[in-house]
Structures are given as structure tokens and as C-alpha cells.
Amino acid sequence: MKNIKLIVTTCFLLLISLAYPQQNITGTVIKVDSLSITCTKTTSIMFPYAIKSVDRGSLDILVQKAKGFENVLQVKAAVECFTETNLTVITSDGKLYSFLLNYNEQPKVLNIQVTKSENGAPVNAFSLNGANAEELKQFSTLALAHRKKLGGVKDYQSNIRFRLTGLFIHEGILYYRITIKNDSNINYDIEQLRFFIRDQKKAKRTASQEIELTPVYVDSPVIQVKGNSQNTVIYALPKFTIPDQKYMAIQLMEKNGGRHLELGLKDRTILNSVLLEPVNAGSNDHQ
């Protein structure tokens, strides 16, 4: 009797296996890139296509799409020393990107540009070392030497002159030429220089919205302007226009000091940015 039951069971399992053959799952393993983030700085990731879906592995991570840019994701730590987690992003071309997130008080990289290799596969290229770094540097150099001057966008406090001396554009990137002049005998140590979109006026009992913009490249960065000297820096940011009732603020903060300055830009200033052309284009506007 036991043998008969065993035979019946074996036959039943055989029939099941024939009716539902085992399927072998095959596929390509998606590369996971390591990314360090902190609470005090925003990390920006620029994708080649619009972001359609974002999934964070933990509530310890803050993520948002940059306002006005469907392909830029801003990432920040909500708490210090969080447990390692992950971030998954799907873009409109159907590609999936995976990042392994860890906490670092001073991350070495704040801006990442996701590009594509020659065969079309996605490649994560860090902005200062990536495929576009040479082009960004080239046009930053052109912006630095350009003869066109911009006036009227300036601030002055305690013998510190803070000016936007030029605004240029090339293929979707705006190049801000900023000059800091120190007319005092005391060195000016820079705590931070940041870009914001702000409301022009805030109604009573209404929270003011402030959106921080992250440069994709900085040419000739400085951390100190010595007494009786000046420095000029180029900041490259993705192009944008300013909505009505808002303005762009460029904020300069002194480290361990009170000499804080701010520039205000309206939309018309950005719309009048000067077109940068490669040197070999025959333009006579560069020197």
C-alpha cells in the first residue's frame, strides 16, 4: 500500500513538472554606486532624462527634484550617522539607477552628472572629473576673460565689495563671474557662497519659500580674500528662469565674522546673459 502511494505521488509531481516547467531567470546586474551625503550640504545628481520615480530605503534620507529641473535630484541626510541605506531612481527612458548611501560629515563630491558611454550604457560621472569637466573649464576660462562687463548687481559692507561682473551662457549652462574685493587690512575668510530662489515679498503669516541652487562647476574657487586684494570666481549652474514674484539671491557669508553680503538678480538679468562661443568660432569678444 505504501509503495502504491509513493508511485502515485511521484507520478503527480512528474505531471506537475511537465505542465509547469522550471523557468530560469536571467538578466543584467545593475551597478550600485556608493554615495556619501551629509546633513549640512546638498548633493545634486543630474540625470540624462527626466526623473519619473524615486525610492529611498530609509526616512533618514531627504530627496527632492530641483524646482524647474525634471532631471536633477537633490539628496541630503535627515539625521547624522544614519545606517547605510539605498536610493533607487527611474528615469523617463526606462533606465534604473541604484545608489548605496552612507553618512560622511565632509563628502568629497557634491555634484554628480550621470552620462552615457558610447554604447549607450549609463555611467556616473562626477562633475569635477567627468566627461563634461573639460568643457565646463574651457567655457569658465572664456567667461573669466570676456570683455563684456555687467554693472548694477553689487553689494558693499565694511570695506568688502561683492559684485556680479558678468553673466554668460553656453548650451544650457549659465556662468556667473563673481568678484570679491577686500578694501580692508583684515583678511576675509569665506564661510560659504550660495545661490537661492526667494520670494520678493512675504505676506503676513505666510511661510517664505527658499530654493537652494547647486553649482555644477566652480572655477578658481577661493576660501580667503586677503586684505587689500580681490579675487574673481566663475560659478556654473544649469540654466533657468525666475518665476514671477521671485528673485535670485547670491549670498556671501564670512567665517567667524559679521561681514555678510548678498546680491539680488531679477529675471531680466538672466535673460540678458551673454552667449559664449568657442575660441575657434571666430568671435572677437574674447581676449
State the fold for domain 136-279. Immunoglobulin-like (2.60.40)
Residue 130 — pLDDT band, cuts 50, 70, 90? Answer: very low
Residue 127 — pLDDT band, cuts 50, 70, 90? Answer: very low
Q: Give me the residue spans of the domains in the chain.
A: 32-131, 136-279
Q: Is the pLDDT of residue 7 over 70?
A: no
Q: For residue range 171-213, what is the model confidence (pLDDT) as tens digits?
A: 889 999 999 999 999 999 998 899 988 888 665 555 556 788 8
State the fold for domain 32-131. Immunoglobulin-like (2.60.40)
Q: Is 136-279 the same fold as 32-131? A: yes
Residue 27 — pLDDT band, cuts 50, 70, 90? Answer: low
User: What pTM did the predictor assign?
Assistant: 0.56
Q: For residue range 231-248, what is the model confidence (pLDDT) as tens digits?
A: 999 999 988 888 888 899
Adjacent-strand bridge partners of 188 = 225
Q: Is the pLDDT of residue 282 over 80?
A: no
